[in-house]
Amino acid sequence: MRSLRPCAGAWYARGRHRQIFASLGALLVGGAAELYPLALHAQTGEAPVYETVVVAPTAVVEAPREDHAASASVITQDRTPRAAESVPQLLSEQAGVIVTRLGGMGSTATISLHGSSSNQVLVYVDGVPFNTATGGGVDLGAIPLGDVDRIEIYRGTSPIGFGASGIGGVVSITIVVPKDNRVESEAGGGSFGTLYGDARAAWNRGRFHWYGGVHTLTTEGDFSYFDNGATMYNPTDNNSVRRRNNDLHQVDGTTKAVIDLVGDRHLTASFAFFDRDQGLPGFGTIADPQARLGTLRTTGVLSYESNDDLGMCGRLRATLYGNYALTHFQDRLQQINPTSTDAHDKTLTSGAKVDWRRVVRPWLVLSGVFDGQFDRFRPSDDIGLTRSGAPATRLFGAAGLEGDLWFDPIKLDLIASLRVEAAHDETAGRDLFGKLALTSTGVGHLSPIARLALVKEVSPWLSLRANGGRYSRLPSLIELYGNTGYLQGNPALTPESGLNADVGPLLSWKRGSDGLYWSTDAFASLVDHLIQFRFGNGRARAENIGRARILGVESSATLEWWGHARVVASATLTDARDTSTVDAANGRQLPLRPRYRFYARPEWRRIQVGRYAALGVYADLDATAGNFTDPPNLSPVAARALVGAGVYVDLPANLCLRASGQNLTNEAIYDLAGYPLPGRAFYLTLAWSSANNKTKELSP
């Protein structure tokens, strides 16, 4: 664990756990460590305190930037190079994370953290929330990986810097920041008619930095799967068929410009677009699927960040953003939707957020956030007989304050925060007869959010963490006011609320080329006012009918030795029980929350082949058991163990070749009943860079 102390007080403890100081190490060790006590004395009038600075090797695993006390995982570009990687794949390998997929590459995929529902997890990209007021979990399959620099997963805890909170936690995705001049490209393909390609460029001159990337993906998705003909107990109609209408065609891109202002201040502007057209095969028993889904999304962000305005080790960030999303869902034959549909749903989101951090005393750091967001939902349907959803708007706001106190004599860090979230909705909802009915007044929601965390430093390489907090989720506009004639709104819904807690050790040790990272947490959650849909008379209505008790243990480890070998592993035990008053579900495992999850990937790296090439090989195992797709647990998901393997080779001329195999045993699998997942698949990628783009793993 790092023992670098550029600042006193609570930030000292944070610095020991955060990889962010790696890039500042040389400067801090060489000069800032000596200058800071004098500067602190000038600002506070207190006698300077001189510290002994110990420089430690780079940590085995990077620490999260937003919250060092949280149960968290970090994914960076310094990882095993693999062909055809995706955001859902990378997330599913982490402890405490469950990803539910509805198909192959690019298909809909949602995430659960610590046994939560997908609605209870917030997803941010460059600080911009991808969750909208219309509801539904964020589709991770629609987040391209090509421009991603790092992903941070906060399980059961929502750092105050994000503004809004989630019962399950937060997934934060950061887009690449341009650092040098280079041009990169890669192309590849593989099973089921899959082709993909990327082109990226970065340019830097003086105070100006620019990055741009464009990515394409196309796949037929025509994998084979087992079809029981919708008759579970009649084997005579069972056969192997190919998934039809499962094609996908996508293009997306990002451009980002950064201007360095006077001092350590930066102004960033970025724009991203995403355009996808895909078939929706629906249940595997549909004979001739024809439904289609089109998705168009554009996002603009303007942000200012300063590490000077609020003093040493302080931070000020201000972000403005806008997001436009258009979803075109066509199902004229009523294969997926209960009514014939040709819908165009538009969502316009705009928001602003300011968060800050200031070292007030050597033992106290204060942080705060002000967050505001406006959502406008405008649905329509080209088929006159279909009742489209109800137009609605939501104004959301959050404000919070956090204190981080460092007790140096006992090496204890205490973090306490309090924030308030509020929302105001207006809609033209539908009455019991399906007619639009203007609401006379808006509907308001108010939720207090509180958190307490402790970090006890046992030694420079071992610490103990504990978190406890109350979080909530506002009902979505669809749950409150309905979407189509099939979904009936319920304006009387109250927000879901949850009490979360976790505790466990964190070990990070490194000496030379050997290192060990190990993190284990026991977690618990009590969730009340769960929102579920009740069905009757051909319609569905959201109601607060559920409660849940979730207990579990999660553990992750990374072991490196000899400079060549590395093993990455994670395991999760989740006992997620329905404690509602519904007799059929009470005491049962919550659906789509597997009781057992295990992932392991041994790697052999930096193998020199001849004079100019180096390669690495890996294998992985992904095992799941104890999963169900329905509340009464009558529809179990078969236990599975998926095996993968691959090889990557760094070649002369800055070329890199990657080959990966997935589900090598060709198991017939699914996450959700009726939606099969691909069997055995192989992918090959060739990448090139104008600069030396060897992976960090293969560098000397």
Report the pLDDT averaged over residues 285-305.
92
Question: What is the largest distance, in Å, between two alpha-carbon atoms of the chain?
Answer: 86
Under CATH, which architecture does the 10-698 domain have? Answer: Beta Barrel (2.40)
Tokens of 20: 């962010």
Residue 441 — pLDDT band, cuts 50, 70, 90?
low
What pLDDT is stored for residue 27 in this prediction? 26
Tokens of 342: 């040709």
Among the listed residues 147, 141, 102, 104, the one whose alpha carbon sits nearest the alpha carbon of residue 123: 141
pLDDT at residue 99 above 80? yes
| Cβ atoms 566, 559 nearer than 8 A | yes
Among the listed residues 552, 500, 466, 455, the one whose alpha carbon sits nearest the alpha carbon of residue 95: 552
Classify residue 698 by its DSSP letter. Answer: G
pLDDT at residue 331 above 90? no
φ/ψ (deg, to 5) at 242: -100, 140
Could you read off the pLDDT of 445-462 as tens digits, one per residue?
A: 888 999 999 999 999 999
pLDDT at residue 486 above 80? no
What pLDDT is stored for residue 495 in this prediction? 87
132 or 266: which leads in pLDDT: 266
Could you read off the pLDDT of 131-148 as tens digits, one per residue?
A: 887 777 788 988 888 899
What pLDDT is stored for residue 48 in this prediction? 37
Classify residue 589 by its DSSP letter. Answer: B
Could you read off the pLDDT of 190-199 as tens digits, one per residue?
A: 999 999 999 9
CA distance 40 to 360: 10
What pLDDT is stored for residue 523 in this prediction? 97
Could you read off the pLDDT of 524-551 as tens digits, one per residue?
A: 999 998 887 776 555 667 788 789 999 9
SS3 88: helix
Could you read off the pLDDT of 544-600 as tens digits, one per residue?
A: 878 999 999 999 999 999 888 999 999 999 999 999 888 888 999 999 899 999 999
Report the pLDDT averaged over residues 12-32.
32
| % of the chain at pLDDT higher than 70 | 84
Residue 354 — pLDDT band, cuts 50, 70, 90?
very high
Q: Are strands 121-125 and 169-175 parallel, antiparallel or unpaired?
A: parallel
CA distance 619 to 622: 10
Among the listed residues 4, 25, 29, 15, the one whose alpha carbon sits nearest the alpha carbon of residue 63: 15
CA distance 620 to 567: 10
Average pLDDT of the chain to the nearest whole number: 84
Classify residue 482 by its DSSP letter. Answer: B
What pLDDT is stored for residue 231 in this prediction? 58
| Close Cβ partners of 187 (under 8 Å, ≥ 6 residues apart) | 195, 196, 197, 198, 685, 686
pLDDT at residue 696 above 60? no
Could you read off the pLDDT of 230-265 as tens digits, one per residue?
A: 555 566 666 788 999 999 999 999 999 999 999 999
Report the pLDDT averaged over residues 104-118.
90
Among the listed residues 418, 523, 409, the one whose alpha carbon sits nearest the alpha carbon of residue 466: 523
Report the pLDDT averaged over residues 15-23.
33
Among the listed residues 574, 550, 458, 547, the one whose alpha carbon sits nearest the alpha carbon of residue 508: 458
- Cα 660–chain centre separation: 23
What pLDDT is stored for residue 50 in this prediction? 32
| Cβ atoms 70, 155 nearer than 8 A | yes
Report the pLDDT averaged over residues 191-218.
95
CA distance 675 to 438: 39
CA distance 121 to 113: 7
Tokens of 638: 């078969």
| Close Cβ partners of 332 (under 8 Å, ≥ 6 residues apart) | 290, 340, 341, 342, 383
Report the pLDDT averaged over residues 165-188.
92
φ/ψ (deg, to 5) at 10: -60, -30
What pLDDT is stored for residue 180 in this prediction? 86
Strand order in the sheet with 128-129: 71-76, 148-155, 169-175, 121-125, 128-129
Residue type, 618: Y
What pLDDT is stored for residue 338 in this prediction? 73
Q: Label residue 438 exposed, middle or buried (CB < 10 Å: 0-12, 13-18, 19+).
A: exposed
